[in-house]
Structure 1
Amino acid sequence: MENEAALTAGRITHNGGRIDVHAHYLPARYREAAIAAGHAHPDGMPFLPGWSVAEALDVMDSVDVQTQMLSISSPGVHFGSAEAARDLARMVNEEGAQAVRDYPGRFGLFASLPLPDLDGALLELEHAFDVLHADGIVLKSNFDGMYPGDARLDPLFAELNRRRAIVFLHPTSPACPCCHGASLGYPRPTLEFIFETTRAVVQLLLNGVISRYPEVRFIVPHAGAALPLVVDRVVGSMPVLDLPRRPSPEEVFADLRTLYFDLAGFPVPRGIPALLEIADSARLLYGSDWPFTPTARMAMLTDALDRTPALAGEMRAAVMRGNALKLFPRLLES
């Protein structure tokens, strides 16, 4: 049972507060399934955090967050069995949708799909949008080595494009064992998550997914990861790459400016200025990465965003709330 007093306190609307597009939830049955599958220390992390609606609302209140968009983080829902992944995706999506129904102004949902099972993913996508009314979906940076820009996922992106869906990208561990060793013994979020996000977005750009499916709204985490630093190298390499269609440099940078970027992680002091070299400032969004980022650290990082001169004047309010309201207009009615 949730703590009744905490839930009552959580009914404060915090209208005018932040909108957090990078927040995770771990229903009890999901934690049990992840641990049973060997993910008690996901991606080399020292712990798999707990989660409850009551605790989430308390934390949100402490940093003036009106709404958290809930998503399942790495390692996702597919632990080897396609059938079990379909069941687990349905369970976590139903539980996330219940939190939204109970607190419609406080939570949103990025639904999980049982990829790389494409048939199962298309079925769950239909249920997530048509029955659960999810705000979007979450895609990992790779699914057993299949990255989002893989041509095998074209049917999925065609449907997402038809629905003008929001897609939240989230890194996971690289599929290759040698990359795990390349983490130098550190948890993969320390280094590999940054490169995983970058790999995924570069493939989406170079394989033409972003340009071919222009109605899909992508949210890229962690201030664009390494993209601001490597994109010129990628563009400079395009003449020697075997691509389905070689975009012009201008097309690549135009596609980048259609992307949304959350500011979870450590974008202060250097990340935001670098990101603004390639991104549209009207598409920057607040993100906490809670509870994988512990509460005290998350509050410190939020305070750094409040104080940084990189988000000057009206840009700060837009990042914390205004830009997200344009992306999720239903929150205007909450």
Structure 2
Amino acid sequence: MSRGWIDVHHHAYHPPLIAELRRRGVTHMAPGVPLPAWTATEALRVMDGSGIRAAVLSVLLPGDALQQDVAPLVRDINTWSAEVVREHPGRFAALASLPLPDVEASLAEIEYALDVLGLDGVVLSTSLPDGRYLGDPAFDRVFAELNDRGAVVFVHPNPSSRCSCAGGPGFASAVPPPLVDFVMDTARAVANMLFGGTLSRNPDIRFILAHAGGVVPFLSWRLELAGTWVLPDAGVDVPGELRRLYYETAQSASPATLACLREVTGDRNILFGTDYPFMNDTVVAATRRHLEDVAGLDLTGNALALFPRLAGGTDARQRGAADAAHL
């Protein structure tokens, strides 16, 4: 790790975004999770204190924020992220938010965010406020466009996720959604994309799963066995599809989780992530300590393969200048 750590799971809730969300009556991302305070200055302080050279910014919106004027808000988010990247070349990359479920607006935003703003991929919520998951056929055109571009797609739990299948009344107040529902939401999205064909139809998308894929690595053989009983005609190469995905380590860097994950995917597909600022600087540092002595993992090299902007030096400065020219 002599080249410095690269955090691929870092949420940049820009101050004007927080102000706009509060104007819309949104004060929490999820039960028990208030809107986070974030500034580039504070983020860099935490990064420098933990030996993190660079971070990939992303923004997820809770369902309550998506009820009005979504496309203009998403455009503002992506513009703010591009400005941070431009102002700090080599320290930040950024993923574009999309105004799903509006497919036409999402296609337009992909073109603008990647071609004009020069962002580094997109971030998608595992599920949508209307209950649909990413494997819904309505979103095939979005994934086809991202596949044509060979885009990086960070798949993150829906901040508004609430599992209604178990727990009963009061479950979410006793066990807030980030503890259980979020990781289950990721597993549902992956299974939906596996058995609905989204993954196999889009082999050139580099998918990154938040939180080591939630419970996906633990369930991998169970998913594979679907072809022997409940989905005998699925014809899905479950081990192959899961192996090619990327998995980041936010809240998932324990030895037990890593051992399970390394059974499912190769060491080149594991990335360093922290979930800052939802995870504070103490957790950020602990995540790094869990990983720094793990043999065989080049987490920095893995991240640079997806985000070459962060390689530093002349290329980063030139990319920053190019971004500035676009804005």
Q: TM-score, normalised by structure 1?
A: 0.86
1:276 counterpart SS class: helix
In 2: Cα distance, 1:266 partner to 1:61 partner: 22
Structure 2 counterparts to residues 13-162 of structure 1, below 5 A: 16-75=3-62, 78-81=65-68, 84-144=69-129, 145-162=131-148
How far residue 287 of structure 1 moved from its aligned partner, in angstroms, is 0.4
Task: Single out whichever of 292-301 and 154-163 deviates more from structure 2.
Answer: 292-301
1:277 counterpart SS class: helix
How far residue 67 of structure 1 moved from its aligned partner, in angstroms, is 1.2
Structure 2 counterparts to residues 123-202 of structure 1, below 5 A: 123-144=108-129, 145-172=131-158, 173-174=160-161, 181=169, 182-183=171-172, 185-202=174-191
2:7 counterpart SS class: strand
How far residue 177 of structure 1 moved from its aligned partner, in angstroms, is 5.7
Judge conservation of contact 1:77–1:114 (CA < 8 Å) in 2: no
1:329 aligns with 2:308: yes
Identity of aligned residues (%): 37
Q: Which amino acid aligns with 2:283?
A: R
1:284 alignment counterpart: 270
How far residue 60 of structure 1 moved from its aligned partner, in angstroms, is 1.1
In 2: Cα distance, 1:204 partner to 1:38 partner: 33
1:246 aligns with 2:234: yes
How far residue 237 of structure 1 moved from its aligned partner, in angstroms, is 2.4
1:228 aligns with 2:221: no
1:229 counterpart SS class: helix
Partner deviation per Cα, 1:273-293 (whole Å, 9 max, x = no partner): 001111111111000100011
How far residue 76 of structure 1 moved from its aligned partner, in angstroms, is 7.0
In 2: Cα distance, 1:286 partner to 1:161 partner: 24
1:219 counterpart SS class: strand
Q: TM-score, normalised by structure 2?
A: 0.88
Q: 1:175 to 1:188 in 2, by over 3 A?
A: closer
1:258 aligns with 2:258: no
In 1: Cα distance, 2:190 partner to 2:26 partner: 26
Q: Which amino acid aligns with 2:120?
A: D
How far residue 105 of structure 1 moved from its aligned partner, in angstroms, is 0.2
2:321 alignment counterpart: none
Count the aligned residue pairs: 309
Task: Single out whichever of 176-185 and 100-109 deviates more from structure 2.
Answer: 176-185
Judge conservation of contact 2:26–2:65 (CA < 8 Å) in 1: no
2:322 alignment counterpart: none
2:79 counterpart SS class: helix
In 2: Cα distance, 1:191 partner to 1:255 partner: 24
Judge conservation of contact 1:74–1:170 (CA < 8 Å) in 2: no
Judge conservation of contact 1:69–1:110 (CA < 8 Å) in 2: yes
How far residue 27 of structure 1 moved from its aligned partner, in angstroms, is 1.1
In 1: Cα distance, 2:25 partner to 2:252 partner: 29
Partner deviation per Cα, 1:43-62 (whole Å, 9 max, x = no partner): 11242210111111111111
- Give the alignment's Cα RMSD to 1 decimal: 2.2
How far residue 240 of structure 1 moved from its aligned partner, in angstroms, is 4.5
In 2: Cα distance, 1:150 partner to 1:68 partner: 31
1:298 alignment counterpart: 284
Partner deviation per Cα, 1:212-236 (whole Å, 9 max, x = no partner): 1111100011112111221222222
Task: Single out whichever of 233-242 and 253-262 deviates more from structure 2.
Answer: 233-242
Judge conservation of contact 1:171–1:194 (CA < 8 Å) in 2: yes
Structure 1: runs of 5+ lacking an equivalent: 1-13
Q: Which amino acid aligns with 2:235?
A: P
Name which structure has the greater RCO, CA cutoff 8 Å, separation 6+.
2
Structure 2: runs of 5+ lacking an equivalent: 317-327
In 1: Cα distance, 2:254 partner to 2:165 partner: 31
In 1: Cα distance, 2:64 partner to 2:198 partner: 24
In 2: Cα distance, 1:175 partner to 1:127 partner: 32
2:30 counterpart SS class: helix
